[in-house]
Amino acid sequence: MMAKLWKQVRLITIGETLFDYEQLDIDFDVKCTDDNNSDIATIKLYNLSETTRQKLKLNQDVSIDAGYRELHGVIFNGIVESISTSRDENDFITTIEATPNNRAYTNTIINRQFKAGIKASEVIKQIEKMCNFTMDIKELGKDTVYPNGKVFSGRLSNVIPILAKDTGTICRFTNTTIEFKLPNKAYSSVLHLGAEQGLIRIDKKMDKADIKEKDNKKPKKDNSKATSSKPKFDIECLLIPLIKIGQLLEIESTLFKGQVVVKECNFVASGLETFTVSASVEVV
226-242 pLDDT, tens per residue?
Answer: 444 789 999 999 999 99
Which of 31-35, 40-44, 46-50, 213-217 is least confident? 213-217
4 pLDDT band, cuts 50/70/90, is: low
Burial degree of 246 (CB within 10 A; 0-12, 13-18, 19+): middle
CA separation, residue 12 to residues 74, 82, 123, 243 (Å): 10, 16, 37, 19
175-189 pLDDT, tens per residue?
Answer: 789 999 998 788 889
Burial degree of 140 (CB within 10 A; 0-12, 13-18, 19+): buried
97 pLDDT band, cuts 50/70/90, is: very high
225 pLDDT band, cuts 50/70/90, is: very low
Which of 79-93, 151-165, 220-234 is least confident? 220-234
Count of C-beta atoms within a 10 Å radius of residue 204: 12
266: nearest Cα among 39, 68, 11: 39
On whether the pTM is more than 0.75, the answer is yes
Longest alpha-carbon distance in the chain: 70
Helices (H), the chain: 50-55, 103-107, 120-128, 156-166, 208-215
For residue 262, report the phi and psi dihedrals to the nearest 5 degrees.
-80, 125
For the cut 60, the answer to whether the pLDDT of residue 211 exceeds it is: no
Contact (Cβ atoms closer than 8 angstroms) between residue 248 and residue 210: no
120-160 pLDDT, tens per residue?
Answer: 999 999 999 999 999 999 999 999 999 999 999 999 999 99
Residue 42 to residue 64: CA distance in whole angstroms: 11
For residue 103, report the phi and psi dihedrals to the nearest 5 degrees.
-60, -40
